[in-house]
């Protein structure tokens, strides 16, 4: 299963969630992380606490790289750049599931809705018509406030594919690159687990 993290909104939590999902899945499944972002944020991770191979590819072969890795690994998690970039599209074309992180703020919501539009356009392309691209928005860095609940309701009302899983604003997530996956008995870990399971379920259609 290829899961691509995508949004043109910078700083919405793509890399953090890519790391968490890859670390979570790697406990039981062969997993690889693909860094398709020229910023190379994943290079800053402590390899001792993140026992997942990282393949860097910011070239136009990204689509082929991802497809090749999917033959050898059960889970391929792709982190893309947080700005408009043609090569992001090639990573999206290969995805089984596109995860669009979105902070509960109007600026982020606008970009997330645009990302959904783009994924749907790619899904209609002749390369993909036979195999759907499942996709969903996950609210990240969310506080349990009335505004967050309102934004969720608005996304549902406009038929946006919003996931039930939600990621809170937590120090454990800031520390992930250096400390690895949050402790198993933490709320942060539970949030990652619920997200991973929902992605799997939705990707199976």
Which residues in this chain contact ligand ATP in the complex, by CB under 6 A?
A: 10-16, 37, 39, 41, 82, 140-141, 167, 169-170, 173-174
- Residue 101 is given by DSSP the state E
Distance in Å, CB of 113 to ligand ATP, minimum: 16
- Residue 41 is given by DSSP the state G
Rank residues 14 and 135 by Cβ distance to ligand ATP and give the closer one. 14
Distance in Å, CB of 4 to ligand ATP, minimum: 13
Q: Which does 58 bind (CB under 5 to 8 A by kind): Mg ion, ligand ATP, none?
A: none
Rank residues 88 and 94 by Cβ distance to ligand ATP and give the closer one. 88
The beta-carbon contacts of 37-42 under 8 Å, at least 24 apart in sequence, are 37/79, 37/80, 37/81, 37/82, 38/81, 39/81, 39/82, 41/15, 41/79, 41/177, 42/15, 42/18, 42/79
Residue in 144, 165, 161, 172 with CA at minimum distance from that of residue 19: 172
Rounded CA gap, 198 and 92, in Å?
19
Distance in Å, CB of 35 to ligand ATP, minimum: 10
Q: Which does 10 bind (CB under 5 to 8 A by kind): Mg ion, ligand ATP, none?
A: ligand ATP
Distance in Å, CB of 150 to Mg ion, minimum: 27
């Amino acid at each position: 299963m290829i899961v691509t993290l995508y949004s043109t909104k910078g700083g919405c939590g793509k890399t953090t969630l890519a790391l968490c999902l890859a670390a979570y899945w790697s406990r039981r499944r062969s997993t690889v992380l693909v860094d398709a972002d020229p910023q190379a944020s994943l290079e800053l991770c402590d390899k001792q606490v993140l026992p997942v191979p990282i393949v860097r590819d910011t070239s136009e072969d990204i689509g082929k790289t991802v497809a090749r890795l999917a033959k050898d690994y059960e889970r391929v998690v792709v982190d893309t750049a947080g700005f408009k970039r043609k090569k992001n599209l090639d990573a999206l074309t290969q995805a089984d599931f596109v995860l669009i992180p979105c902070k509960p703020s109007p600026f982020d919501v606008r970009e997330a809705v645009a990302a959904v539009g783009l994924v749907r356009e790619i899904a209609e392309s002749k390369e993909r018509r036979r195999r759907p691209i499942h996709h969903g928005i996950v609210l990240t860095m969310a506080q349990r406030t009335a505004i967050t609940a309102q934004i969720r309701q608005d996304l549902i009302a406009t038929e946006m594919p919003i996931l039930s899983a939600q990621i809170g604003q937590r120090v454990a997530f800031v520390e992930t690159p250096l400390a690895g996956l949050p402790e198993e008995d933490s709320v942060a870990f539970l949030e990652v687990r619920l997200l991973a399971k929902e992605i799997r379920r939705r990707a199976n259609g």
